[in-house]
Chain A
């Protein structure tokens, strides 16, 4: 399943770093963070609890980049 989120991220490098870390979150098959469009595209693993996964994603992202927000 694919989902697209609007995000707020301050710099291109932060977006790359967050992407690398979020990629490792359980339940995430593929993630793509675009600094330019301020969007995050997430492909979930089959049968993943998307809400729980996204809560984890936000936690991981915040750890890497405190200013990261999912709108």
Chain B
């Protein structure tokens, strides 16, 4: 509770005690009035002040104005009637303030809870100076400095371990509760917590560029992208409040005038009395706070909860679009499969197994591909397993979607797919195996091919099943791989549609076709690893990048970032967004329905002031409590 809230609480308690006491003490006339006015001022002076300032500054219709008019009106009416029943005026103000207090407390508390969920910001970095460990501001640590991370501390800056081994808790980043074992030479990302051993880490980035800073920036920014429902409500409130005020005025004036003119009711205050009272009730009911507060709170809670689960959503508008996703398009390599290829077979030009020259062929392929970051290139180098002498390789040329040519030891070597061979006028041998086939030609002569197989991620099948179960009608896979491989993967996983043998540009075209062919309300999401598919990521209605920990490019290009590379998170993200939007609509409908009903009842004189207080304060409290639910996403 902050200072303002404490002060408010004291005022509420004093006013409450005095009001109750006044019910038991017999007082009359001016004494009674002045006591009630004292209570009224204690509880409501700030509202009156704000309402007055609003009028002075030309902003008349806000909730302070509504409350001031309603309570002063109720007071005057009681005074005029001489009933001495000032309780209603006090009650309206008291409960309004209780509601405001509750709202400010609940919102502040959930804001802190959500901030705590995302509390991954490290406060310091340990540096060794003359044998002493010194705590320094992570912002001051230069790239390449050795920092020391003790057990229980957060890793402050991205880097590589130079000494020590330990297990890391990355749950704040990825939502993954299993600790990750690390040892010397491993890369570590900031924000993970060192659990067991002392680590020495050589930093590879500045603090501002480290994963933890990027994530925090993203999450904090996300709150500033407003959703359509938020926009709708703030526009709505701008029209709604004046409309209600004029409505109340009309209610106070028109029916009595009608009665005076046509029903022979004598002109006088008596004719207006009931209608003024109804108009005041009308004003109390109509306060739009429940909507204005609960909707941004729902989105904020949803975004906070999902970042806790390792799903970073870049804004409320994204969460909204995500909930309407009906088609999910996957990149194959690195998304549904590990993107780590194994050499399954090596064949000569006649499709027979190579026995003798195996190492030579592999060496050529690895050398030509030595500078490429494509998963296949990396896997080839891994399969070769020896260091590469770069001085033997010249003139490396990469043909996107085809392969690579280079000069190795003076020989022109081409390594790539069938298209590359055709382009160079070489007739490749069709392989009998299913897999990714890497053809190799030396000096324009075909020497054989390597068959590589990708490994499907263990959760991919379950992920597709869950997507279908959570209402995604259409799953599509885009891949540059051959039809045989693509079809086999799709069949294993249960994917509806496959487009294979695509060049990177084709993927964008296919994505555009898919967007064009879906209904305007049904959104298309693309899931990729963010390395080669940034154009598709940004073209899709929702771009989801996975395994993004440490990859800035992916964080920039995508709308939703999955911190680890588990495809199950995709359906989780969609379910989180559905829950959040569900809550938003529950609140909109609930608040409007209750208020609408009470307004009608109030206009016909059926609702009294107490019901009006419920329609205002009660509805707001319920809506805020409902909104906070969006934060709990663990079981989704």
Contact = CB atoms under 8 A, between A and B. Distances in A.
B135 interface: no
A66 B53 contact: yes
B289 A13 contact: yes
A13 B220 contact: no
Contacts of B50: 66
B117 to A, nearest CB: 13
B354 interface: no
Given A10-B4, A16-B237, A63-B57, 11 more contacts: A10-B104, A11-B100, A12-B293, A12-B296, A12-B297, A13-B62, A13-B288, A13-B292, A16-B292, A34-B223, A66-B50
Interface string B367-396: 000000000000000000000000000000
Contact of A13 (B4, B223, B237): B237
A16 B234 contact: yes
A59 to B, nearest CB: 12
Interface in B23-69: 50, 53, 57, 59, 62-63
A64 B53 CA distance: 8
Contact of A11 (B104, B111, B300): B104
B292 A12 contact: yes
B244 to A, nearest CB: 14
A62 to B, nearest CB: 10
Contacts of B100: 11
A32 interface: yes
A24 interface: no
16 contacts: A10-B4, A10-B104, A11-B104, A12-B292, A13-B62, A13-B237, A13-B288, A17-B62, A32-B224, A34-B223, A34-B224, A36-B296, A37-B223, A37-B224, A39-B224, A64-B59
B292 to A, nearest CB: 4
A37 B220 CA distance: 7
Interface string A33-52: 01111110100000000000
- Residue of B104, B224, B288 ringed by the most chain A CB atoms within 10 A: B224
A49 B183 CA distance: 52
Contacts of B103: 11
Interface of A: 10-13, 16-17, 32, 34-39, 41, 63-64, 66-67
A64 B296 CA distance: 20
A36 B300 contact: yes
Interface of B: 4, 50, 53, 57, 59, 62-63, 100, 103-104, 107, 111, 220, 223-224, 234, 237, 288-289, 292-293, 296-297, 300
Contact of B223 (A11, A36, A66): A36
A42 to B, nearest CB: 11
A10 B62 CA distance: 15
Contacts of B237: 13, 16
B57 A11 contact: no
Nearest to A33: B224
Contact of A41 (B57, B63, B224, B292): B224
Nearest to B292: A13
Contacts of A12: 107, 292-293, 296-297
Given A12-B296, A13-B292, A66-B50, A39 B220 contact: yes
A36 B300 CA distance: 7
Contacts of B220: 37, 39
Nearest to A15: B296
A21 B143 CA distance: 43
A38 B104 CA distance: 13
A13 B293 contact: yes
Contacts of B111: 36-38
Contact of B59 (A11, A17, A41): A17
Nearest to B295: A12
Contacts of A35: 296
